[in-house]
Amino acid sequence: MTYENILKDAGLTRAEFTGGELKVHTPVDGSEIAALKVHTISEADAQIAGANKAFKAWRTVPAPRRGELIRLLGEELRKEKENLGRLVTLECGKIYQEGLGEVQEMIDICDFAVGLSRQLYGLTIASERPGHAMRETWHPMGVCGVITAFNFPVAPWCWNAALAIVCGDPVIWKPSEKTPLTALAVQKICERVCQKFGDDAPRDLFQVLVGERELGELLTASKDVAIVSATGSVPMGRAVAGDMAKRLGRTILELGGNNAMIVALSADLEMAVRAIVFSAVGTAGQRCTTLRRLIVHKDVYDQLIPRLTKAYSTLPIGSPLEEDTLIGPLIDDQAMSAMEQAIEQAKSEGGTVHGGGRALNDQFPSAAYVHPAIAEMPEQSQIMHLETFAPILYAVKYSTIEEAIEIHNAVPQGLSSCIFSTDIRETELFLSGVGSDCGIANVNIGPSGAEIGGAFGGEKDTGGGRESGSDAWKGYMRRQTNTINYSTELPLAQGIVFDI
């Protein structure tokens, strides 16, 4: 299948993906696959204005009806799963299975959001005053800007958009400039769905901003964008947070992870090996939840590492479009350089590195294929505190579970974490208030691959936002506390007397 056919199967027309100034290269072989028109500042301003107009209308559409739109979106995504999954693979380089998984995640969150659309529960609350009723309700908030990263080009948008739309908020999507094609393809699906839905879906409910960073900054700067949900690096997150603080706007930040696994003495090593490999090399180490640090009990370390290096040595590297591939390319040369530098630093900090280095150079001279690396470190050194977006897995030893947790929590990021252990005392300790300080903490599964039913995100440098399941939807609504006096008296709270 030609690249062009992949684009066309995903619903894009030649006119849409050619002739513009933004060159899109596939990491599969580095070739240019599209040249997109970018939005100007004034077009972006018009999008914001359009979205606010849409908001006025959309907030009056009952939430269960808004849910129906998302149900139709889910249905359409089911139909387009293969086509869209393949485009994900082409554009960001993750293997096709993961491309499909990403679309499945979109579908799952749609199902979840449809159910939510008849809930959006606030509370009725006991009032201390006779003849008074108290309650809280959740109302649509306003326009929601969604800034996404290249590594998950579509799912995080959908986590945000499915909830935002059900909550009554129009969405403006600023995808990574590296992966705008999937965004355009999804946008076309959305437009088709809106048409099917009928007249009460206003114009400009879904919009995409194609372009560079300054378009994202426009979203964070504008008073007319009530919420900005951003996925990306910690520096990007700080910039967004700073811009939003100036105007006291609301953010949902999902930034970097530096995710670890503790492998305890009682761990099922067979399962641990499989989990480690998938978590560390899946998406070529470019998931925000990628496993980056291995904290291994000293008495199993010497069993585990050889099994891992052996497994690593057999992993099929290749085009992510090929069925047997498990490791596709990095997104670009810059990523490969960062990996190389990190490996150098690891070595200089005393590490012994297995693997690493460029792969398939002959076959794909313009792409960034690498051998995944395992770096055995004498202790948790400086490089291990950084998130390098590449398949490098650092390993250190520990003696006691308390020590393991201390190592675990000593990095600035706080996204995901896990322990492999069959000992409930260790596992519950890890999940307790003195255990992992991450937003996600798993037992006997890797740190990546969250289900959409839970809230996704983490504290510390990860930014504190939560997306997807649980009550993450509250991030897209405004809460209102109501007290209704239906008596003919006017008692004050706290029993204050004030007689005029």
Binders of a second copy among 321-360, rule CB under 8 A?
326
* Under rule CB under 8 A, residue 438 binds a second copy: yes
What is the distance between the alpha carbons of residues 241 and 234, in angstroms, rounded to a whole number?
Answer: 10
What is the distance between the alpha carbons of residues 320 and 88, in angstroms, rounded to a whole number?
Answer: 10
Positive or negative CA dihedral for 270, 272, 275, 281?
A: negative
What is the distance between the alpha carbons of residues 216 and 228, in angstroms, rounded to a whole number?
Answer: 9
Candidate residues 33, 34, 69, 116; the one interacting with a second copy per rule CB under 8 A: 116
Positive or negative CA dihedral for 68, 73, 76, 78?
A: negative
Q: Beta strand 413-414 with 459-460: parallel, antiparallel or unpaired? A: antiparallel
* Under rule CB under 8 A, residue 118 binds a second copy: yes
Of residues 363 through 392, those in contact with a second copy by CB under 8 A are: none
Whether 58 and 69 have beta carbons less than 8 Å apart is answered as no
Q: How far apart are the first and last CA of the chain?
A: 83
Whether 168 and 59 have beta carbons less than 8 Å apart is answered as yes
Nearer to a second copy, 153 or 282 (CB): 282
* Under rule CB under 8 A, residue 455 binds a second copy: yes
* Under rule CB under 8 A, residue 199 binds a second copy: no
| Rounded to 5°, angle at Cα 84 from 286 and 27 | 40
Of residues 226 through 255, those in contact with a second copy by CB under 8 A are: 234, 237-238, 241-242, 244-246, 248, 250, 253, 255
Q: Closest separation between CB of residue 217 and a second copy, Å?
A: 14
Q: Closest separation between CB of residue 365 and a second copy, Å?
A: 28
Q: Which stretch binds a second copy (CB under 8 A): 342-350, 352-360, 395-403, 459-467?
A: 459-467
* Under rule CB under 8 A, residue 403 binds a second copy: no
* Under rule CB under 8 A, residue 207 binds a second copy: no
Q: Closest separation between CB of residue 315 and a second copy, Å?
A: 7
Q: Closest separation between CB of residue 300 and a second copy, Å?
A: 17
Nearer to a second copy, 331 or 401 (CB): 401
For tokens 């030649």, the residue is: 14
**Is 16 part of the annotated catalytic residue set?**
no
Nearer to a second copy, 186 or 455 (CB): 455
Nearer to a second copy, 47 or 220 (CB): 220
With b for 16 or more beta-carbon neighbours within 10 A and e for fewer, the 408-441 pattern comes to bbebebbbbbbbbbeeeebbebbeeeebbbbbbb
* Under rule CB under 8 A, residue 451 binds a second copy: yes
Nearer to a second copy, 333 or 428 (CB): 428
**DSSP string over 210-254:** -S-HHHHHHHHH-TT--EEEEES-HHHHHHHHHHHHHTT-EEEEE
What is the distance between the alpha carbons of residues 8 and 83, in angstroms, rounded to a whole number?
Answer: 9
User: Out of 16, 68, 80, 254, which one is annotated catalytic?
Assistant: 254
* Under rule CB under 8 A, residue 487 binds a second copy: yes
* Under rule CB under 8 A, residue 480 binds a second copy: yes
Of residues 32 through 61, those in contact with a second copy by CB under 8 A are: 59-61
Q: Closest separation between CB of residue 127 and a second copy, Å?
A: 6
Candidates 463, 419, 420, 413; CA nearest to 438 is: 413
Of residues 250 through 309, those in contact with a second copy by CB under 8 A are: 250, 253, 255, 268, 271, 274-275, 277-278, 282
Q: Catalytic residue numbers?
A: 254
